Amino acid sequence: MVGVVREREERDDRATFTDLKKARKEDCTPMMRGFNKVASPSQNAERILKMFRDQKGVNIGTAVDLYEHGLQTATRAYRDGCDEETVVVALLHDLGEVWSPINHGEIVASLLRPYISPQNYWVLVHHELFQAYYYQDAFELKEKNSRDRFKDSPHWKACETFCEKYDSPAFDPEYDSLPLEHFEPMVVRIFNRKPYVASKSGESWLILDSEVNKAKLTLAEAYPSPEELEAA
Ligand SMILES: [Fe+2]
Ligand SMILES: [Fe+2]
């Protein structure tokens, strides 16, 4: 009985349209609440952290598993004085590794795109090409230095630094990585940023480096702010 009542209450708390074309102003509040229940910024952060935890024991044939590789990349970035956003990018950079190895950087780049700088987005998308620089001879790749196709990009140096200092050396089982708990609040803060408005060192700016981001910024305005969600 309790279950039936709860189900009815939940149904009453939903938008009533059966076709999005018929959505009305009154549908906004239940939809806002619905989103908040399942996709609040903190829940999304927890969801991505769960994906990260799932990398424990997933090994691509290296001395450490993907979980340790992520922790180690993030710890190296953190100890080198990188800003919080870059540390989070380092932690999560290989999240898509076994979903689609050939373009795995694009997977997490897409998940983080509304919350990170164009430069860090670029680093994520391109990092596997830059990593190839280190194994191209061992694996006898046909094309050497493919990273140099992108030499004219203003983000080339940042990606080279990321791979050289943090990603490439992060396969060392003897390294004393910081635990995931150290990075969890950082991930939560990144996901609590206003979408398409990045913020580093207390300064905010709009991520308007492409038409699609400009358009999605206007779409983001339809989503409730964390304050609105709390009040709803
Ligand atoms: Fe990678
Ligand atoms: Fe990596």
* pLDDT for the residue 232: 55
- Show contacts of 177-181: CB within 8 Å, 24+ apart: 177/68, 177/71, 177/72, 177/74, 177/75, 178/71, 178/74, 178/75, 178/78, 179/71, 180/49, 180/52, 180/53, 180/71
Residue 221 lies in a domain: no
CA 33 to ligand 2 center in whole angstroms: 37
**CATH code at 160?**
1.10.3210.10
**Residue 109: nearest ligand to its CA?**
1
* pLDDT for the residue 6: 61
DSSP 13: T
* pLDDT for the residue 229: 61
> Quick one: which H or E segment has residue 6?
helix 2-12
Residue 116 lies in a domain: yes
Residue 136 lies in a domain: yes
> Quick one: which H or E segment has residue 197?
strand 197-200
**Residue 66: nearest ligand to its CA?**
2
The distance in angstroms from the start CA to the end CA of the chain is 27
Write out residues in the chain with pLDDT < 70, as ranges: 1-12, 200-202, 224-232
Residue 206 lies in a domain: no
Residue 188 lies in a domain: yes
Residue 216 lies in a domain: no
CA 228 to ligand 1 center in whole angstroms: 37
Residue 9 lies in a domain: no
For 59-128, give the DSSP string: -SSSSS-HHHHHHHHHHHHHHTT--HHHHHHHHHTTTTTTT-GGGHHHHHHHHHGGGS-HHHHHHHHHHH
CA 163 to ligand 1 center in whole angstroms: 9
Domains contained in the chain, number: 1
* Residue of 74, 92, 65, 26 lying closest to 177 (CA atoms): 74
Residue 24 lies in a domain: no
* pLDDT for the residue 204: 73
**Residue 132: nearest ligand to its CA?**
1
CA 42 to ligand 1 center in whole angstroms: 25
Enumerate residues with CB within 5 Å of ligand 1 (an ion).
Answer: 94, 128
Cα separation of 206 and 122, whole Å? 16
DSSP three-state, residue 217: helix
Domain that holds residue 69: 41-195
* pLDDT for the residue 209: 82
